[in-house]
Amino acid sequence: MVFGRLRAGCMPEVAKMHRFPTTEQVAEELNVSVNRGRALLKAGDLRGIQVGGRKVWRIAAADVESYIAEAYKVTAQRIAAGELPE
């Protein structure tokens, strides 16, 4: 997933995203609800910044990539520890 740039193997519609997508765009990309996306921000699991009004959040594309990479790492650790069923 890359917002705003096309990478090899990347779907063309993803390349249309912005460098600093909205909470709604990130939630759609992660296939979670907007409320879940906001919860990730508030918990500090996903980095973002508030711009303007209280509910206006922007998340850097690099931070979305970092969140996904960390999620893969944690999942692999949990599988190795036998915490997740196959």
CATH numbers and ranges of domains, the chain: 14-80 (1.10.10)
Tell me, yes or no, if the pTM score tops 0.75: no
List pLDDT tens digits, range 10-33: 444 444 557 899 999 999 999 999
Tokens 């915490």 correspond to what residue? 83
According to DSSP, the residues that pair with 49 across neighbouring strands are 58
Whether residue 51 is predicted with pLDDT greater than 60 in this model: the reply is yes
Confidence of residue 7 (pLDDT cuts 50, 70, 90): very low
pLDDT at 37: 95
Distance CA 78, CA 86 (A): 11
